[in-house]
Chain A
Amino acid sequence: MDSNEQLIADSLSKHAADAPSNDHLLEAVHARLHRRRTARALGAIVVAAAAVATAITASHNLPTELHTDPQIAQQPAPGWRWESYKTVQVQVPSSWTQYISGPAPCTPSASASAPVVGRFNDWLGKYGYTCEDAVLPLDRRLPYLWFNDVQAPGIKQYDGGWSEETRIVGGTKVSVLTNNEALRRRIVDSARPITGTDYYGCTPTESLASGTPVNAEVTSAGVCEYYKGTLVAGSRLSTPQVTQLARLLRTAPTGRPVAPPPGCQDTSPRTYVVTLHTRSASWPVRIMYSTCDVSYKFATDDGKTQRLVGYPVIDLLRTGVHKPNQPSDLFDPAHPLTPSPR
């Protein structure tokens, strides 16, 4: 085996570790076999009565066979959680709770000393901002995971025992800065390309989301945030918020968008694809959010019906990862907040 063949073998071995878990494979197979037997038995009975009804039954049952729960294969390690951005998802310790939008390292931490999860959001004037520092001074430095920053791939050593590793995974850059090499490596090694959906059920690019409202008790809800159709972040709502959100969406009146105020330009409109799950069904809802639309936001539940939702819905969604700090002083390249390059 030559070096290229060895490289292929190594690459395949590494990526095989990302394969889905077989924890529920046998259950899933038997569940589908059971549904298939049930559908056939039911079909045979219905055929005797009406051939048309059989076709309807089959078309209703068979698509559900293909549903798989993305959570099953991707549970984060205890004390860790998944963070998603564009085409990659990465695990970070649950204590990394400070969210920031902007470029690393020149986006200073906003307040607390909690490690940072940063996203180089494209709407923050990516090409109008200059920041040449490699790292913040030691007394202002915090560990971070940063998505799609300007750093080149590789490992960089800094003062005070800090190091930063940048890797491209699934086409998206992942940078991790810590003063703990084992931790840095564990975070970087957890990075996975999002090949289908991420842990929260989000696709890298926005897909058509519509569905019939469900009346049963909603047990969980995944939130996928998109900017211009590209995944920015995914999350899962906690139980009280889920119940409240379901109630607000069910009671939202139908309506049409109002015209934005004259001259208002929203440079960062967001789309939230929220999927509410009951024990037996899912209800995907697409919610558009724009700062120009000061009174109502819009949700569609069947691809056609538009509903007006108010700030209570937006406030439920725009928390945590969906409401990062965005220091405005980053936008002045002539007077950077950060120290001179070293």
Chain B
Amino acid sequence: MESPDFDDWVAQRGAALLRFAYLVTRDHTRAEEAVQDALIAAYSRWSRICRAQDPEAYVRRCIVNADISRWRRFFRRETPTDDAGTSHAAPHRAAPDHAVAQAEHDAVWALCATLPAKQRAAVVLRYYEDLPDAEIAVILDCSPATVRSQIHRALASLRTAIGTEEVKR
């Protein structure tokens, strides 16, 4: 199969890659850098990558690995600040108005920051990209069983933090 043109592919998929990178890194600058780094790495071996697999899986894997490597380098996990902690409280569900829904989204967003990078990536790929276990496994370079385990742990952590009943998939 003929490789897609690199520029055309980036023009078509760039926005989606940046959204994915932003949800994983949670930072504009790091998201841009991660996507650019991944694309630069892919550029020199574009034909080979396209022959072997879906280039998107390769680029997404680079983005996730960049985020994981970053945390390994600094030996720390992202933790919310004291100020942000005000939004970590269990969201109030009684009044489903505009502001409450917003508060819920912000609280979940803040809680996602406490997840390890790979778990967060798995959550993004499942709940934002809506990918099946097998495709997530290819991107995260692990088995589908590991993907299920990662998501289960992530949901358990979020469930504990939110303080709701058991989360089942």
Per the bound structure, the CA–CA distance linking A33 and B36 in Å amounts to: 10
Q: Which residues of A contact B158 (CB under 8 A)?
A: 4, 8
For chains A and B in complex, what number of residue pairs have CB atoms within 8 angstroms? 152
Q: B22 touching A196 by the CB < 8 A rule?
A: no
A1-21 interface bits toward B, Cβ cutoff 8 Å, 1 = contact, 0 = none: 111110111111111101111
Binding site for A on B (CB under 8 A): 7, 10-11, 14-15, 17-19, 21-23, 26-33, 35-36, 39-40, 43, 80-87, 95, 97-106, 108-109, 112, 123-124, 127-128, 155, 158-159, 162, 164, 167-169
Q: How far is the CA of A169 from the CA of B106 in the complex (A)?
A: 7
B150 to A: closest C-beta gap in Å? 14
A32 CB within 8 Å of chain B: yes
Whether A5 pairs with B100 at a CB distance below 8 angstroms is no
Taking CB atoms, residues of chain A closer than 8 Å to B106 are: 11, 167-169
B contact residues around A286 at 8 Å (CB): none
| Residue contact A20 to B99, C-beta cutoff 8 Å | no
Q: Is the C-beta of A280 less than 8 angstroms from some C-beta in chain B?
A: no
**CB proximity to B under 8 Å, residues A28-72:** 28-29, 32-33, 36, 66, 68, 70
Are B22 and A20 interface neighbours, CB within 8 A? yes
Residue in A5, A12, A153 whose CB lies within 8 Å of B169 = A5
Question: Are the C-beta atoms of B87 and A15 separated by less than 8 Å?
Answer: no
Indicate if the CB atoms of A11 and B31 lie closer than 8 Å.
Answer: no
Interface class of chain B by DSSP: helix
Decide if A4 touches B159 in the complex (CB within 8 Å). yes
Which residues of chain A (117-132) have a CB below 8 Å from chain B?
A: none
The listed residue (A66, A168, A195) touching B87 by CB distance below 8 A is A168
User: Chain A: residues with CB nearer than 8 A to chain B?
Assistant: 1-5, 7-16, 18-22, 25-26, 28-29, 32-33, 36, 66, 68, 70, 73, 86-87, 153-155, 165-172, 185, 188, 195-197
Which of B32, B99, B159 is within 8 Å of A28, CB to CB? B32
Within 8 Å CB of B80, what residues of A? 171
Across-interface contacts of B98 in A (CB, < 8 A): 155, 165, 185
Q: Is the CB of A36 within 8 A of B102?
A: no
A56–B143 CA distance with the chains assembled, in angstroms: 44
Contact B127 A165 (CB under 8 A): no
CB of B167 within 8 A of CB of A155, answer no
**Bound CA–CA A86/B83 (angstroms):** 10
Residues of B within 8 A of A170 (CB): 83-84
- Chain A to chain B: the 9 pairs with minimum beta-carbon distance, closest first: A171-B83, A22-B14, A171-B84, A19-B22, A11-B108, A12-B128, A196-B29, A11-B105, A19-B19
Known: A168-B103, A168-B106. A33 touches B40 (CB 8 A): yes
Cα of A8 to Cα of B127 in the assembled complex, Å? 7
